Amino acid sequence: MRPSPPPSIVVLTGAGISAESGLRTFRDAGGLWENHRVEDVATPEAFLRNPALVHAFYNQRRAQLREVRPNAAHLALARLEREWSGDFLLVTQNVDDLHDRAGSRALIHMHGELLKVRCAFCSAVHPWEGGTGPETRCPACARSGGIRPHIVWFGEMPLEMDRIGDALERCDLFVAVGTSGNVYPAAGFVGQVPAGARTLELNLEPSSVSSRFSEQREGPASVLVPALV
């Protein structure tokens, strides 16, 4: 008899995995940044209305990244990827770079990345190098005024959905870590895995979609993720 292949794993992470590194989660922050509602700075409409304000919001968050480091949960997921012989994919909703810095490589940033910018004219993605004013030129198409954060705002299509969908359809174990289950399509991933796949939620408290998981564990990600790995 041929041995069955090792199980295929998909891990989804949210802001809760970076909370113990010192980055506040969206719902913890009370939805406010310097008295602006997050919806007023993190939408395509906000960017059209006041690009300087939106750039200031993301520049402040980029500055926060310099103060933080990956925690035990990020490091454990990077180790799992290195040591697991089956298929493994880490999908993060986080726009920070803590999974990258921990060593994860089979990684999709489905909501974009703080340390990248995109040209609204030609869609080319570039590393963020500090220039975000209206005069900043796109290195690819040379047009000015189109450089925006490489972030998926509400109403925009999250990134690499085909690759994520393929991995979910084939997965045997789906683990969601530190995500509130309020934002779609990520909140619906648990329903896209094959019937019979094991689904596990790791969170400080039940999320909005906890009942859809076959198993839940409550506690901090820095404890639960290394214990699982």
Catalytic residue among 55, 99, 109, 111: 111
CA–CA dist 109, 160 (Å, integer): 8
Rule CB under 6 A: say whether 227 interacts with ligand BJW: no
**Distances in whole angstroms, Cα of residue 216 to Cα of each of 106, 137, 145, 146:** 24, 48, 46, 44
Rule CB under 6 A: say whether 204 interacts with ligand BJW: yes
Rule CB under 6 A: say whether 183 interacts with ligand BJW: yes
53 three-class SS: helix
Q: Please say which residue, 184 or 194, places its beta carbon nearer to ligand BJW.
A: 184
Q: Are 178 and 15 in contact (CB under 8 A)?
A: yes
Beta strand 107-109 with 32-33: parallel, antiparallel or unpaired?
unpaired
Burial profile 20-53: b = 16 or more Cβ within 10 angstroms, e = fewer: bbebebbeeeeeebeebebebbbbeebbeeebee
Q: Is 2 annotated as a binding residue?
A: no
Active site residue 111: yes
Residues in 111-170 at the binding interface with ligand BJW, rule: CB under 6 A: 111, 151-152, 154-158
CA–CA dist 114, 151 (Å, integer): 7
Stretch that binds ligand BJW, among 78-86, 101-109, 116-124, 173-181 (CB under 6 A): 173-181
Least CB distance from residue 6 to ligand BJW, whole Å? 27
Provide the 8-state DSSP code for 207. -
Residues in 94-113 at the binding interface with ligand BJW, rule: CB under 6 A: 95, 111
Q: Are 174 and 199 in contact (CB under 8 A)?
A: yes
The count of chain residues that interact with ligand BJW, using the rule CB under 6 A, is 32
Q: Which residue is nearest to ligand BJW (CB)?
A: 16
Rule CB under 6 A: say whether 70 interacts with ligand BJW: no
Least CB distance from residue 139 to ligand BJW, whole Å? 24
Q: Read off the amino acid at residue 107.
A: L
- Nearest CA to 71 out of 165, 160, 215, 177 is that of 177
Least CB distance from residue 16 to ligand BJW, whole Å? 2
Q: Is 94 annotated as a binding residue?
A: yes
Rule CB under 6 A: say whether 64 interacts with ligand BJW: no
Q: Across-strand partners of 200?
A: 175, 215
Which residue is it, tokens 């839940």?
A: 216
Catalytic annotation, residues: 111
Which residues contact ligand BJW by CB under 6 A?
Answer: 14-16, 19-20, 25-27, 42, 93, 95, 111, 151-152, 154-158, 178-180, 182-185, 203-205, 207, 220-221
**Residues of each annotated binding site for Zn(2+):** 119, 122, 138, 141
